[in-house]
Every structure is written in structure tokens, then in C-alpha cells.
Structure 1
Amino acid sequence: MFSGNTEISWEFTLQARDSIYTDTLYSASNSVNADGSASSDDKWNFGDKFVVHVIDQPSSVGDDLTTLNSFSLNQNYPNPFNPSTKISWQSTVGSHQILTVYDAIGTEVATLLNEFKEAGKYEIDFNASALSSGVYYYKLQAGSFIETKKMLLLR
């Protein structure tokens, strides 16, 4: 993670062709200081939804929800497990994240995480020693991202 005086920059060269063409450039950040001017006081945020479409000449900035996957929930390991397993995931953006475990009939049996997490890779140990054998589901919610995976506790 970044702290203190951190500078992030990049350069690229785009050579225009002789005919009309389309290129897509993916951006991972934007800067907002709410006064419409550039300055060293700009506040940066990072996201997965910023896409710059270049059509013959710079033309637009759009919101494209299908281009980048900002979260990935992995299969727990080991699976089947007794009594503990590891659940891991990756996020390319910081967000409030909730990781919950449900039994086979949909009753919530554990909340493993309910807090803001910065972008990164994470892993949580889930100890099910108080639960009986059976199928369980774990669900990661982060903004509009929701994914559920199945795991099996065998005693």
C-alpha cells in the first residue's frame, strides 16, 4: 500500500494510423480535487471501471463494467476439510467486504469478515469445530461483487 509522498506516473505513445481505428486504454485511477484544476493536492482513487476509448482522436471516458474483474474468490483449501480450512480472495480495489458462511439450508453460521479492505490478496482461516459435518457455503460481498462457493466439512 502507498503511504507518505508517493508518486505514480506512466507515459505512453500512441501513433495515429492513416485510417479510422479504435483503441481501448484501461486506466486504474482517477484524480478529483473538486475544483476543476490540476494541483499537487489532487485526491486519487483507484477503480476497475475506468476505460478510455480512443477513436481516431481522444473522444470519451466511459464506464465499462465488463472489462476488468476487480475481485476473485478462490476455492477453499483443503476441501473437504476437518475442522479448519483457508478461504482466500483478491481485490484490485479497496471496498467494504463481507465474508459469511451459511449451512445447506441457508442459515448464516459465521461472519468471518465485515470491514473495509484495501486492494490486495487476503486469506482467512475458518474453524468449523463447533459445526456438524455437511455442505456449507461461503459468500464474499464487496460492492456490486457477490460470489459464493461450496465447501464440505467431513468429521
Structure 2
Amino acid sequence: MGDQKLTLDRLSELRLYDPPVDLLVLSACHRCGDEQSELGFAGLAVQAGVKTALASLWYVSDEGTLTLMTEFYHILKQAPIKAEALRQAQIAMIKNQARIENGNLILENSNQTIPLPPELANQHHPNLQHPYYWAAFTMIGSPW
């Protein structure tokens, strides 16, 4: 949340129901889950009034999150159903159509090549087809 941490007990203070938030994506967190809350921030966000929440169930690498979220937002512009956009983004990673290669994020479905930030460009990049990188993300609430 910018310059401060958001804890589970403070989520309701955000008044996410006024006006209603249609989609809350929690993609920039080391751990969106919690041992005491099975659905973590995503579940609490829905309880706090968010129509739909998308979050990871476990810590996922920056490369995996960057790839999935970039593909998800691209597909979301065209797909009327949020859950379908997530599914298609995950399939793109499985099929290696959304991947990191030679310091670039490659998105075949949208014919995009996006240079990675320097802190990611010079690292060894994992095989993002592995479920560890795309299966952590779940959608809770309304899929529409």
C-alpha cells in the first residue's frame, strides 16, 4: 500500500464498499495468505465489500507475477468475464506464449515484446510454464 503495510485487521478500514470496488488485484505482495485466514487478503477483501478479488495463495516470483498480470490485464480488455481473463493468462503461460526471454517479456497473443526493468533483465529466468508461477493466483467473489 505504498509507503506502509496493510494488515488483515485493517482491510475493512478502506471502505471498499463505498463506492463499490469491482476488482481488487493483490499482485505485489510477498504473501497474500495468512495461516489464520484460509482465503487471506482476497477473502477478506470480498468480505469488506469488493465484488471480486484476485490474489496469490503463496509467494510467487516477480517474473511470474509480472508475466501473469501483464497478460491478464491485456486479456481483460477484451474478455467480458474476469475469471476467463485469468484462465486465458494462465493457459498462455502453460503454452509458453507468455514468457521471459533475452531480457524481454514476450506476449505472443498480443504480439508484444516488453523490455524488463534492469533489476530483472540480467537475472536467470525460470521456466514460467511450471505451475508454481501461474497456479498461485485465484479469484474470489464474482467472476463477471
Per the shorter chain, which TM-score range? under 0.3
Q: Which has the higher helix share?
A: 2
Structure number with the bigger relative contact order (C-alpha 8 A, sep ≥ 6) is 2
TM-score, reference length from structure 2: 0.22
Structure number with greater Rg is: 1
Q: Which has the higher strand share?
A: 1
TM-score, reference length from structure 1: 0.21
